[in-house]
């Protein structure tokens, strides 16, 4: 995985993102060089290699998928009015709202331009997969915004939202990598399902770590979702398990924004603990992890071919097979 990640990093280092007018492209270059884990290009290239592809074949597809992902972050940060991304000012803060809108739009078009840069027999399938994924990511963001205004969101609805907002793009990246390598149809379906379950496990774990993570490992303050009144899987799980009285209390807490948020975070974690929330979310993560593993196992390739993806999954989810 480290070698592949270095390749991905090198591809980005070698690519030029600034053109004229520079007012349009500087925020794009800034965004694409902020770093991040580069998970999507990593998955795309790993899937491609697994099915016998080669780095050069998916060089621009790797840039394309990450450019799309960064475009969604850029617009999401504007919609959510987030001040920081990866510890740096977000584009709409560093520049302005119009710059965030237009540079984002341009990145979306650039993503297609990267995919189109190399001819490929399966181009229609590749771009159809990418486009369907893009639309689903937008739908996921809309459900996320809808859910902020609702107080009756179910766990199933939440799962469907994170499937659209997060999982389909990991799955799409894997599928596109496999399509470039002309993998067999049933394996393409398996790798897509692997990505969906991996994505769900990854997002649920992100929810869990926000409340229970080791600050040193997680890299950000815990309890932020609680402070932000974000109705995560934990919140919905606790609501489902709690008594009517506690349910009312939890709903009320998630409508408040006290000056000193520490008592609020503490009380919510007490409620989560009393409702066994952590264990239940871990169960859900395990279930997605196992489903991902089964999908990977279904792929008709020797184990050593699957080792890199197995490795990425272990690293992302912090656990072994």
Binding site for a copy of itself (CB under 8 A): 20-21, 23-24, 75, 78-79, 98, 101-102, 104-106, 108-110, 112-113, 116, 119, 123-124, 127-128, 131-132, 134-135, 138-139, 141-143, 145-146
Q: How far is the CB of 239 from a copy of itself (least distance, A)?
A: 22
Q: What tokens appear for 314 in the block?
A: 């272990």
β-strand pairing of 88-89 with 84-85: antiparallel
| Residue 25 Cβ vs a copy of itself, minimum distance, rounded to whole Å | 9
For helices 262-274 and 233-241, give the axis angle rounded to 10 degrees.
50
CB of 82 to a copy of itself, least distance (A): 13
Name the residue nearer to a copy of itself (CB basis): 148 or 297: 148
* Distance, CA of 200 to CA of 202 (rounded, Å): 5
Bridge partners (DSSP) listed for residue 84 = 89
- Closer to a copy of itself by Cβ: residue 41 or 104: 104
DSSP labels, 138-184: HHHHHHHHHHHT-S---HHHHHHHHIIIIIHHHHHHHHHHHHHTT--
Q: How far is the CB of 137 from a copy of itself (least distance, A)?
A: 9
Give the largest Cα separation in the chain, rounded: 61
84 versus 109: smaller Cβ distance to a copy of itself: 109
Least distance in angstroms from the C-beta of 114 to a copy of itself: 10
For residue 89, the cross-strand partners are 84
By CB neighbour count within 10 A (0-12 exposed, 13-18 middle, 19+ buried), where does 115 fall?
buried
* Least distance (Å) between residue 9 CB and a copy of itself: 25
Q: Which of 154, 172, 224 lies closest to 146 in space, CA to CA?
A: 154
Quote the least distance from Cβ 314 to a copy of itself, whole Å.
33
Sign of the Cα torsion 149, 151, 154, 158 reads positive
Cβ 279 vs Cβ 2: under 8 Å: no
22 versus 319: smaller Cβ distance to a copy of itself: 22
Which is closer to a copy of itself, CB of 108 or CB of 241?
108
Task: Pick the closer one to a copy of itself by CB: 117 or 220.
Answer: 117
Q: State which residue, 159 or 295, has the beta carbon closest to a copy of itself.
A: 159
């Amino acid at each position: 995985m480290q070698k592949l990640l270095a390749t991905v990093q090198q591809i980005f280092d070698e690519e030029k993102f600034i053109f004229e007018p520079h007012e349009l492209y500087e925020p794009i270059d800034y965004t694409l060089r902020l770093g991040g884990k580069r998970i999507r290009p990593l998955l795309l290239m790993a899937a491609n290699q697994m099915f016998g592809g080669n780095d050069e074949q998916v060089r621009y597809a790797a840039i394309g998928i990450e450019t799309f992902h960064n475009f969604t972050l850029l617009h999401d940060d504007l919609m959510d009015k987030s001040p920081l991304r990866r510890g740096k000012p977000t584009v709409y803060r560093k520049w302005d709202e119009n710059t965030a809108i237009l540079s984002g739009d341009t990145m979306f078009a650039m993503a297609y331009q990267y995919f189109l840069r190399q001819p490929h027999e399966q181009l229609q399938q590749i771009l159809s997969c990418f486009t369907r994924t893009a639309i689903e990511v937008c739908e996921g963001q809309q459900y996320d915004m809808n859910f902020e205004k609702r107080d009756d969101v179910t766990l199933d609805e939440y799962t469907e939202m994170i499937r659209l907002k997060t999982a389909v793009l990991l799955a799409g990246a894997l599928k596109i990598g496999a399509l470039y390598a002309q993998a067999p149809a049933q394996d393409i379906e398996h790798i897509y399902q692997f990505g969906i379950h991996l994505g769900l496990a990854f997002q649920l774990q992100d929810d869990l770590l926000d409340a229970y993570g080791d600050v040193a490992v997680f890299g950000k303050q815990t309890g932020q979702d609680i402070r932000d009144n974000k109705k995560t899987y934990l919140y919905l799980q606790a609501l489902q398990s709690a008594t009517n009285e506690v349910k009312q209390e939890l709903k009320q807490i998630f409508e408040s924004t006290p000056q000193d948020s520490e008592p609020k975070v503490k009380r919510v974690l007490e409620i989560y603990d009393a409702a066994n929330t952590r264990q239940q979310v871990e169960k859900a993560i395990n279930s997605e992890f196992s489903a991902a593993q089964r999908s990977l196992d279904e792929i008709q390739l020797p184990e050593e071919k699957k080792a890199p993806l197995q490795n990425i999954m272990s690293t992302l989810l912090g656990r072994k097979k």
